[in-house]
Amino acid sequence: MPRVLHAIAILSVLVLGGCAAALPPLATDRYEAPAYRLAAGDRLRIQVFGEEALSREYVITSAGDLSFPLLGDLAAAGKTPTELQQVIGQGLAQGYLNDPRVNVEVLNLRPFYILGEVSKAGEYPYASNLSVFQAVALAGGYTYRADRSRVFIRKAGSDREYTYKLSDSKTVYIQPGDTIRIGERYF
């Protein structure tokens, strides 16, 4: 009988250890609202005060560039709208305009995706400072089997999923293009 109990104990450790190893790694980034980073396909309204010929809508190319009159192709992907605003302003100040005033506005925000134990999995429009709890609400809420203690997020452009612990004291923010997976609870 002791051998049977010993074998059951070893089997339990192996099974439970295998469950823990299957989880994605714990995220190390901080729980802060992310700044919106521009990417391919973003539509922008750029206004240069007093320059109607330069003020219009632009689209970031699949290569991540923005073709701007007088300045040519500018690297836009990965920059915040404010950073792009500064790049354009500095470029125009180099012999084209005196004290250029530039404003960059994002017209379309990329969607995020949610799947797993939510009522209506799918693609949803992103809004600034969107948290996981708000994303779950957009997807119709948790199912009765949902694990409400953690969430798995694959950041846009990443090939790896990370685990984020959910609590009342820390808000987990998402970014456009992120894929959120709500897992199933086991106990």
Whether the per-residue pLDDT at 5 is higher than 60: the answer is: no
Percent of the chain past pLDDT 90, that is, above it, reads: 65
Q: What CATH topology corresponds to 43-106?
A: wza like fold (3.30.1950)
pLDDT over 60 at 12, yes or no: no
Residue 187 tokens, joined = 């106990």
The pLDDT of 19-32, averaged and rounded, is 61
> Does residue 8 carry a pLDDT above 90?
no
Indicate the residue type of 48: V
**For position 14, what pLDDT does the model report?**
47
pLDDT tens digits for range 97-109? 999 999 999 998 8
Question: In 3-state terms, what secondary structure has residue 8?
Answer: helix
At residue 171 the predicted structure's pLDDT band, cuts being 50, 70 and 90, is: confident
- Stretch 122-145: mean pLDDT: 94
More confident residue, 128 or 30: 128
Higher pLDDT, 89 or 31: 89
The pLDDT score that the predictor gives to residue 18 is: 47
Question: Considering only the top CATH level, what class is 110-187?
Answer: alpha beta
pLDDT recorded at residue 82: 95
From 166, 177, 181, 173, select the one nearest 121 (Cα to Cα). Answer: 181
Is residue 179 predicted with pLDDT exceeding 90? yes
Output the average pLDDT for the chain. 86
Nearest-angstrom CA–CA distance, 63 and 40: 7
Buried b / exposed e over 113-136, threshold 16 CB at 10 Å, is bbebbbeebeebebeeebbbeebb
Better pLDDT: 170 or 52: 52
Q: Where are the domains of the chain?
A: 43-106, 110-187
- Asked if residue 116 has pLDDT above 60, the reply is yes
Residue 118 has pLDDT above 80, yes or no: yes
> Residue 136 — very low, low, confident or very high, per pLDDT cuts 50/70/90?
very high
